[in-house]
A and B are shown apart, each in its own frame.
Chain A
Amino acid sequence: MPEQQAAEHQSNPAEEVGAFLRERREQIAQRWADAALLRTVFTVSRDEAVEAARTVVEALAAVAASGRVADSEADGFAVVREQLARTAQSRARAGAGIAQISAEMDALRPPVTDLLLDELSDAPAEHLRECTTALTVLMGTLRLVMLETTMNAGQDLINRQRLELLEIATPVIKLWEGIVAVPLIGTLDSARSQVVMEILLDAVVEQHARFAILDITGVPTVDSLVAQHLMKTVAAARLMGAECIVSGIRPAIAQTIVHLGIDLSSVLTRASLADALAYALQEQGDHIVPNPASAVEPR
């Protein structure tokens, strides 16, 4: 039936690839299940890998049939986006980088191309070339969809973590009657130092604190802006009748502040939180007497 063959050859190569994919989906799924990408994700059951591969092949067939092989937004991809993202995430958790995942994705192409070449072994060279090109473009688009989904998932994670970080309230710790401490961690930019100041001043009112300790052990860099924020906070606390002590000044930070030329002499500072607490207790007239019984024990 030469006429029918000729008619088939004149059809759209993308559509023909779609028909080929649908027809051979079982075979392709079986081959993909043994590829590194799916074998490493579906370690427990091979049937699951075949099932997942079949879903992807069917999606590809649908996209090819719609003729949008180069369009990563094609409707056909919608059904497999989530599955592709899960697969990529699973590989990423196992330590694979984007390049490796991409390479493993690319490794899915040769088995399908081989099948297509077998299928079209009798077709004219020109038609064969068009069909393999359509298939290659389609597989490239699939790879793009997967990477796109992965990167979007990464961006979602970053956004969520950023929100979570903002939500981490700076804790105010009541150390003693009339003594509160705020441990500062991370970068003290203008927005965060504003939050810190508000939290500290609120705590001074609520706890009737006479002493507020700002511990900067967890602040990696103290430059002139951070120092300025600290001084403003100290001045504000003083206006409310509380003495502010800045503790946790490490040797390297101390030397840097001196070289920078910042005058922190208006601020009461101590090397450690313990020193600051001891100072505040002494000023309050609270004395901690060591228990003589335990003092006998050699430490």
Chain B
Amino acid sequence: MTHSTGSVSACLPIHSDLDLVRVRQHVRQMTAHLGFGLVEQTKLVTAASELARNALVHGGGGQMECAPVTTGGIRGLRLVFSDQGPGIADLEQALSDGYTSGEGLGMGLGGARRLVHEFSIDSRRGVGTTVAVTSWISGPPRPREAH
């Protein structure tokens, strides 16, 4: 998919619970500013909350880059979460619902994937994990399926 990526508009650190609040607030403001509907706003903010918490709890802290993107005249928001943690051993397992390496519900990663339009994850053992998500204002620009 080709879409022009704007320059990184913000880079927020994720090192404490307080940073999670900041991440959520920033994403909420950005989505509201770009004109996202309330449902899409809430979904992206929730996904950001899950992914930021993953970076904090499992990755030992990291950062979120946030940049507005456009494709075919449709605006969206791209968030990239990166950490330098131990990495994820089994991506398939990590993405499946109910699997958790900690004490959570095990819905974070898989749930976040369902809350956004585009989701990509890159994890290398001992190097870290990078998760990139994108949501578009009016759904992904693709032809509607016939009912």
Q: Is A252 an interface residue (CB 8 A)?
A: yes
User: Is the beta-carbon distance between B49 and A256 smaller than 8 angstroms?
Assistant: no
Which A residues touch B39, using CB under 8 A? 251-252, 255-256
Which B residues touch A224, using CB under 8 A? 50, 104-105, 107-108, 111
Interface string of A206-234 (1 = CB under 8 A from B): 00000000000000111111011000000
User: Is the beta-carbon distance between B49 and A221 smaller than 8 angstroms?
Assistant: yes
Contact A256 to B17, CB < 8 A, known contacts A224-B104, A261-B110, A261-B111:
no
User: Is the beta-carbon distance between B42 and A253 smaller than 8 angstroms?
Assistant: yes
Q: Is A96 an interface residue (CB 8 A)?
A: no
Q: Is B24 an interface residue (CB 8 A)?
A: yes
Bound-state CA distance A259–B50 (Å) is 13
Bound-state CA distance A255–B38 (Å) is 11
Q: Is B118 an interface residue (CB 8 A)?
A: no
Q: A187, A227, A261, A262: which has the most chain B beta carbons within 10 Å?
A: A261
User: Is the beta-carbon distance between A252 and B38 smaller than 8 angstroms?
Assistant: yes
Bound-state CA distance A84–B39 (Å) is 48
User: Is the beta-carbon distance between A221 and B104 smaller than 8 angstroms?
Assistant: no
User: Is the beta-carbon distance between B21 and A260 smaller than 8 angstroms?
Assistant: no
User: Is the beta-carbon distance between B24 and A252 smaller than 8 angstroms?
Assistant: no
User: Is the beta-carbon distance between B46 and A262 smaller than 8 angstroms?
Assistant: no
Q: Determine how close the nearest CB of chain A comes to the CB of B8; give it in whole angstroms.
A: 23
Which B residues touch A262, using CB under 8 A? 105, 107, 111
Number of interface residues of A (CB under 8 A): 21
Q: Per a CB cutoff under 8 Å, which of A190, A220, A260 touches B24?
A: A220
Bound-state CA distance A238–B45 (Å) is 31
User: Is the beta-carbon distance between A252 and B41 smaller than 8 angstroms?
Assistant: yes
Bound-state CA distance A259–B28 (Å) is 18
Q: Per a CB cutoff under 8 Å, which of B41, B43, B53 touches A259?
A: B43
Q: Is B97 an interface residue (CB 8 A)?
A: yes
User: Is the beta-carbon distance between B46 and A223 smaller than 8 angstroms?
Assistant: yes
User: Is the beta-carbon distance between A260 and B53 smaller than 8 angstroms?
Assistant: no
Q: Is B115 an interface residue (CB 8 A)?
A: yes
Bound-state CA distance A223–B115 (Å) is 11
User: Is the beta-carbon distance between A256 and B105 smaller than 8 angstroms?
Assistant: no
Q: Is B3 an interface residue (CB 8 A)?
A: no
Number of interface residues of B (CB under 8 A): 25
Give the residue name and chain of the B residue nearest to A187 (CB): B21
Which B residues touch A256, using CB under 8 A? 39, 42-43, 46, 115
Bound-state CA distance A190–B45 (Å) is 18
Q: Is A189 an interface residue (CB 8 A)?
A: yes
Bound-state CA distance A146–B28 (Å) is 35
Which B residues touch A225, using CB under 8 A? 49, 53, 104-105
Which B residues touch A191, using CB under 8 A? 17
Q: Is B114 an interface residue (CB 8 A)?
A: yes
User: Is the beta-carbon distance between A221 and B111 smaller than 8 angstroms?
Assistant: no
Interface string of A235-274 (1 = CB under 8 A from B): 0000000000000000111011001111000000000000
Q: Per a CB cutoff under 8 Å, which of A189, A255, A261 touches B43?
A: A255
Bound-state CA distance A221–B21 (Å) is 10
Q: Determine how close the nearest CB of chain B comes to the CB of A187; give it in whole angstroms.
A: 5
Bound-state CA distance A261–B24 (Å) is 20
User: Is the beta-carbon distance between A260 and B107 smaller than 8 angstroms?
Assistant: yes
Q: Determine how close the nearest CB of chain A comes to the CB of B139; give it in whole angstroms.
A: 13
User: Is the beta-carbon distance between A228 and B104 smaller than 8 angstroms?
Assistant: yes
Which A residues touch B49, using CB under 8 A? 221, 223, 225
Which A residues touch B97, using CB under 8 A? 261
Beyond the given A259-B115, A260-B107, please list 4 additional residue pairs across the A-B interface where CB-CB is below 8 A.
A190-B17, A221-B24, A222-B46, A225-B104
Q: A interface vs B, CB < 8 Å? A: 187, 189-191, 220-225, 227-228, 251-253, 255-256, 259-262
Sample of 11 A–B contacts (CB below 8 Å): A187-B21, A220-B28, A221-B45, A221-B49, A224-B104, A224-B108, A224-B111, A225-B53, A252-B38, A255-B39, A260-B112
Q: B interface vs A, CB < 8 Å? A: 17, 20-21, 24, 28, 38-39, 41-43, 45-46, 49-50, 53, 97, 104-105, 107-108, 110-112, 114-115
